[in-house]
């Protein structure tokens, strides 16, 4: 048997990549039903089996979900999100905080170097919204505003992989923010350091921005440790 030069990508891989790109770029947003199989076959110019295999791969990857008798829907904007979510659900809160420390410190540092005028406007707006939510006493609103605030910092770093990683662990970040809000002293430190971080990013002081993140994450870790020790005493 003679060896043949392999194709770089199979048809299934090419179709999968095209569909994945449409989802990641928001052309097919989360919650939307994708075109039916016959339409995809016609537009892509491939066989029905090729389309089925591509869709099956994306279902397995967590980006698509089939509803019996209703079609196939987008359920995640990234194949990374479902994988990370499953992993984070098995992790300890302390581990989530350690990962947040790594990602958010680097994001704050990069944001200080790369932030644009539009980034500064978005950062200040998200900080103001966070402050309003905090003063309202609405816990759910505060958690949502705080998560959005951190995502704006990540976005200002202008690193697509970093953004994908952070967006994929949104639920874990939300849970850790909820925990922080239960400890008044930590919440105060977090608020102070958030304002310090934004000021540092605006002034392009990367060391101060990263240090602000380190300070509020450390406060959260200390509170978690005290809570666990209190539980052990009981």
Average pLDDT over residues 95-105: 90
pLDDT at 83: 63
**d(C-alpha 234, C-alpha 213), whole Å:** 32
pLDDT digits (tens, 9 = 90+) for 43-90: 999 999 999 999 998 888 778 999 888 899 998 777 666 666 666 666
pLDDT digits (tens, 9 = 90+) for 9-46: 688 888 998 998 898 888 998 889 999 999 999 999 99
DSSP 122: H
Token duo for residue 64 = 């698509």
The residue among 208, 149, 211 whose CA lies nearest residue 177 is: 149
pLDDT at 186: 67
State the span(s) of the chain assigned CATH 1.10.10.10. 11-74
**d(C-alpha 169, C-alpha 85), whole Å:** 6
pLDDT at 152: 95
Cα three-residue angle 77-79-82, rounded to 5 degrees: 90
Q: Do residues 198 and 208 touch, judged by C-beta distance below 8 A?
A: no
CA distances, 129 to each of 5, 106, 134, 192 (Å): 57, 24, 9, 15
Q: Write the CATH number of the domain with boundaries 11-74.
A: 1.10.10.10
pLDDT digits (tens, 9 = 90+) for 173-227: 887 777 766 665 667 778 889 999 999 999 999 999 999 999 988 888 887 777 6
Q: How confident is the model at residue 233 (pLDDT cuts 50, 70, 90)?
A: very low
State the span(s) of the chain assigned CATH 1.20.120.530. 81-226
pLDDT at 82: 63
Report the residue count for the chain. Answer: 234
Rg of the Cα atoms in the chain: 22
Three-class secondary structure of residue 29 per DSSP = coil
pLDDT at 181: 63
The residue among 128, 118, 103 whose CA lies nearest residue 217 is: 103
**d(C-alpha 141, C-alpha 133), whole Å:** 6
pLDDT at 234: 43
Class of 81-226 in CATH: mainly alpha
The residue among 214, 211, 234 whose CA lies nearest residue 222 is: 214
Residue ranges of alpha helices (H) inside the chain are 11-24, 37-44, 48-60, 80-88, 93-114, 117-136, 139-156, 160-168, 170-181, 184-202, 206-233
């Amino acid at each position: 048997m003679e060896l043949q030069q392999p194709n770089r990508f199979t048809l299934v891989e090419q179709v999968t990549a095209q569909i994945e790109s449409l989802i990641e770029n928001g052309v097919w947003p989360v919650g939307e039903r994708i075109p039916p199989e016959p339409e995809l076959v016609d537009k892509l110019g491939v066989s029905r089996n090729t389309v089925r295999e591509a869709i099956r791969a994306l279902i397995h990857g967590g980006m698509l979900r089939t509803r019996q008798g209703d079609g196939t829907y987008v359920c995640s904007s990234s194949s990374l999100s479902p994988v990370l979510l499953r992993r984070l659900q098995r992790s300890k809160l302390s581990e989530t905080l350690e990962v947040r420390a790594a990602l958010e410190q680097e994001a704050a540092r990069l944001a200080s170097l790369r932030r644009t005028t539009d980034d500064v406007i978005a950062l200040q707006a998200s900080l103001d919204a966070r402050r309003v939510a905090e003063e309202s006493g609405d816990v759910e609103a505060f958690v949502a505003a705080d998560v959005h605030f951190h995502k704006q910092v990540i976005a200002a770093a202008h690193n697509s992989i970093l953004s994908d990683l952070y967006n994929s662990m949104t639920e874990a970040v939300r849970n850790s923010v909820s925990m922080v809000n239960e400890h008044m002293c930590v919440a105060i430190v977090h608020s102070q350091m958030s304002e310090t971080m934004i000021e540092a990013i605006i002034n392009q002081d990367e060391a101060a921005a990263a240090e602000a993140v380190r300070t509020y994450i450390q406060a959260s870790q200390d509170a978690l440790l005290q809570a666990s020790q209190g539980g052990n005493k009981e």
